[in-house]
Amino acid sequence: MASNPAPFERLALLASDTPRAQEACETLSRQGEWVPLEEADAVVVLGGDGFMLHTLHAMIDAGRVIPAYGMNLGTVGFLMNRYDRRNAIAARVARARRWSISPLRIEAITQDGECHAFCAINELSLLRETRQTAKIEVTVGDRVRIAELVCDGVLVSTPAGSTAYNLSANGPILPLDSKLLALTPISPFRPRRWRGAILPDRMKIILKVLDPAKRPVAAVADQKELRDIAEVRLAIANDIALTLLFDPGQSLEERIVAEQFVTG
SS (H, E, C) the chain: CCCCCCCCCCEEEEECCCHHHHHHHHHHCCCCCCCCHHHCCEEEEEECHHHHHHHHHHHHHHCCCCCEEEEECCCCCCCCECCCCCCCHHHHHHHCEEEEECCEEEEEEECCCCEEEEEECCEEEEEECCCCCEEEEEEECCEEEEEEEEECEEEEECCCCCCCHHHHCCCCCCCCCCCEEEEEEECCCECCCCCCEEEECCCCEEEEEECCCCCCEEEEECCEEECCEEEEEEEECCCCCEEEEECCCCCHHHHHHHHCCCCC
Cβ-contact 39, 61 below 8 angstroms: no
Residues belonging to the binding site are: 49-50, 54, 122-123, 152, 160, 163-168
Handedness of CA 126, 132, 133, 134 (dihedral sign): negative
**Looking at 49, 61, 112, 228, which residue is catalytic?**
49
- Answer yes or no: 142 catalytic: no
Please give the positions annotated as active site.
Answer: 49
